[in-house]
Amino acid sequence: MKFHQVSKLQGTVSVPGDKSISHRSIMFASLAEGTSEITNFLEGADCLSTIDCFRKLGVDIRKPGPGHVIVHGRGLHGLQPPSSTLDVGNSGTTARLISGILSAQSFSTRLTGDASIRKRPMKRIIEPLSQMGADIQSEHNNGCAPLLIKGSPLHGIHYTTQVASAQVKSAILLAGLYADGITKVTEPCLSRNHSELMLRRFGADLHTEETTVVLQPGTPLTGQTISVPGDISSAAYFIAAGSVLPGSDILIRNVGINPTRDGMLKAAKAMGADITLENLCSGDGEPSADLRIRSAALHGTEIGGSLIPALIDELPALAVMAAFAEGTTVIRDAAELKVKESNRIDSIVTNLRAMGCDIEGTQDGMIIHGGRPLHGAVIDAHDDHRIAMSFAVAALGAEGETHIPESGCVAISYPDFFQHLNSLCKA
Ligand code: S3P
């Protein structure tokens, strides 16, 4: 796909449902007794992989209309052995969360995914789940998928994570639903808490004490009606584009603003972005709002510490904003970027540099000296949806033509991204 400079963004857009919440809605509804109805479900490839896996585990999941999913739950003990390997595609959330569930079943499962998934670290879940009694083997003994998971009796543990990771925390909590005692997970700082909020809604006995989640097993889950808020990670591209293109004024409707996910808003505001929240809605524990973005003169900032987990997926979009901002932006404490769908420190640094940006990678982030005009380039997205979308934004503010050959990967989280972006672009 080829991109050219535009003068500004104007108009209104609704981003698709939140990816993290969509995954969890299918998983928890599958383990619940009774029927769940989900609306504004994200029909991106990752969440469709989750549906596919749970169908293979015997769950009746129907899609009566766009973004509308009905799940006939089978209860905590009703999953059936799959007749073939579960394929999570590109989805790390599916791979890690489902492993917690599969560890406790009365059958064995083989789980794999695409080339990127087969390189991503799974030791971070194998270790705590094994401490709970799980039997998980990495087929090639390299700590990655394919995984062979033999269901086993589990016991509760108190696990302290080195890095704040909602996928690790959620995998342990899901296994904890089946354990013979209390499970506790303590994080260095809070990662996204969608699992805690939604598990409680489904009836799980769970509470949070500072950065520790405590789960008492034994309560059945019950089907729920879930309305998924728009994904702030998808809104991030419009927040970045609307902020950097002079004269822009856009409204992004119904965006989830859970405080464990809204780091992008805080970091963008620290750069001088003009963001106002309208139409605030408290939701069922998952707050949302319409975001009005007007272009602003941006300046560099420092992004690190406990803010990182609340904006980890938005760092590619923030790095693009930083390239247009005057002065230096330092991103630190974000070594996790190296183990996402691509090594995002490398993907951001090489591509922004190819566009003329003064940027250097560090061990745990990057330093961006912003304000130099960018020019078009051929972008290597490494088949990483968030890199492709962030560089489409960079292209709109760059002189000349930008080519993103692997643009199809946006279907992982935002199949209509280019149509939505195009509808806002004013020549
Ligand atoms: C996710 C958690 C984060 C995030 C990922 C989705 C989730 O990963 O980067 O895109 O839905 O739990 P980590 O748990 O590895 O930080």
Polymer length in residues for the chain: 427
Cβ neighbours of residue 209 under 8 Å, at least 6 residues apart?
Answer: none
Q: Is 167 in the pocket of ligand 1 (CB under 6 A)?
A: yes
Question: Buried b vs exposed e over 298-331: b needs ≥16 C-beta within 10 Å?
Answer: bbbbebeeebbbbbbbbbbbbbbbbbbbeebbeb
Identify the pLDDT of residue 283: 76
Identify the pLDDT of residue 284: 75
CA-wise closest residue to 80 among 62, 55, 103: 55
Identify the pLDDT of residue 299: 98
- Report how far ligand 1's centroid is from the alpha carbon of 426 (Å): 34
Name the β-bridge partners of 426: 8
How large a percentage of the chain has pLDDT more than 90? 99
Burial of 62 (0-12, 13-18, 19+ CB in 10 A): exposed
State how far the Cα of 402 lies from the Cα of 405, in Å rounded to an integer.
10
CB 153 within 8 A of CB 180: yes
CA dihedral 306, 310, 314, 316 (to 10 degrees): 20
Catalytic residue (choose from 262, 313, 380, 416): 313
Residue whose Cα lies nearest atom 4 of ligand 1: it is 313
Give, in degrees to the nearest 5, the angle at Cα 349 between 344 and 352. Answer: 115
Cβ neighbours of residue 172 under 8 Å, at least 6 residues apart?
Answer: 100, 125, 128, 129, 132, 157, 159, 183, 185
Q: Is 166 in the pocket of ligand 1 (CB under 6 A)?
A: yes
- Residue 314 main-chain phi, psi, to 5 deg: -95, 0
Q: Are strands 327-331 and 302-303 parallel, antiparallel or unpaired?
A: parallel
Name the β-bridge partners of 249: 10, 294
Q: Is 234 in the pocket of ligand 1 (CB under 6 A)?
A: no
Q: Is 312 in the pocket of ligand 1 (CB under 6 A)?
A: yes
Q: Which of 25, 26, 42, 93 to mutate to test the pocket of ligand 1 (most atoms within 8 A of CB)?
A: 93
DSSP for 386-398?
A: HHHHHHHHHHHTS
- Report how far ligand 1's centroid is from the alpha carbon of 322 (Å): 23
For residue 64, give Cα distances in angstroms to 147, 228, 253, 257.
33, 16, 24, 28
- Reply yes or no on whether 313 is catalytic: yes
Q: Is 87 in the pocket of ligand 1 (CB under 6 A)?
A: no
Identify the pLDDT of residue 132: 98
- Report how far ligand 1's centroid is from the alpha carbon of 383 (Å): 18
How large a percentage of the chain has pLDDT more than 70? 100
Identify the pLDDT of residue 285: 85
Residue whose Cα lies nearest atom 10 of ligand 1: it is 313
Q: What is the 8-class DSSP label of residue 112?
A: E
State how far the Cα of 198 lies from the Cα of 402, in Å rounded to an integer.
41
Q: Is 179 in the pocket of ligand 1 (CB under 6 A)?
A: no
Q: Which of 165, 173, 233, 315 to mutate to test the pocket of ligand 1 (most atoms within 8 A of CB)?
A: 165
Identify the pLDDT of residue 427: 81
Cβ neighbours of residue 52 under 8 Å, at least 6 residues apart?
Answer: 87
Where the chain has pLDDT below 50, the residues are none
Residue whose Cα lies nearest atom 9 of ligand 1: it is 313
